[in-house]
Amino acid sequence: MAIEYSEVVRPDDTEKAQSTITVGFFPDDRRPWAVDLGGRCPRCGHDQPESRHWLVAVAGASKFSQTQREQAEAEFAELDIDLSSGDESFDLRCGCSEKHAHRPHGKSGCGAAYRVRVVWAP
C-alpha cells in the first residue's frame, strides 16, 4: 500500500533524492541551457514526471530549429555567458499520479518536498 500524503519536510528525502532523481541536460551536457529532472520520488518511490528547469531564460520562442539554436549559442558566447560548468540546486515536489491516503483535493503526489543539487563540468 502507498504511503499517506504528508507535506512534512524530511531532510532524508533530499539526501535520498540524489540517487533516485535522474539528471539530463538540454540540448547537451557541453553547454546546457536547461536541466531535465525525472526518476523516482525519494519518499514514495513512484515515477516522477520529467521537468525541465531552464538555466537561461529565452523569451518569445517555444521551439528552436538547429540553426536558431546555434545562432543563440553564438550570441551567448559573444555575451561571455559560459554554461560549460555549473552548480545549481532545484526544489522539487513529488508529482506522482499514484493514490496516497489523505491527499487534499487538487494536489498530486505524496507531498514530499526535496532539493536536488546538480553539478556539471567539461
H, E, C per residue of 15-37: HHHHHHEEEEEECCCCCCCEEEE
Q: Report the range of poorest mean pLDDT among 27-31, 48-52, 100-104, 109-113.
A: 27-31
Quick: pLDDT tens for 38-94: 999 999 999 999 999 988 776 655 677 778 877 877 887 788 777 889 999 999 999
The count of other CB atoms within 10 Å of the CB of residue 31 is: 19
Question: Which residue from 22, 20, 4 is spatially nearest to 12, judged by alpha carbons?
Answer: 20
Per the model's pLDDT, the better-predicted residue between 80 and 23 turns out to be 23
Please tell me the distance from the alpha carbon of residue 31 to that of residue 50, in angstroms, as a whole number. Answer: 20
3-state secondary structure of 11: helix
Bridge partners (DSSP) of residue 117 are 89
**Residue 75 pLDDT:** 81
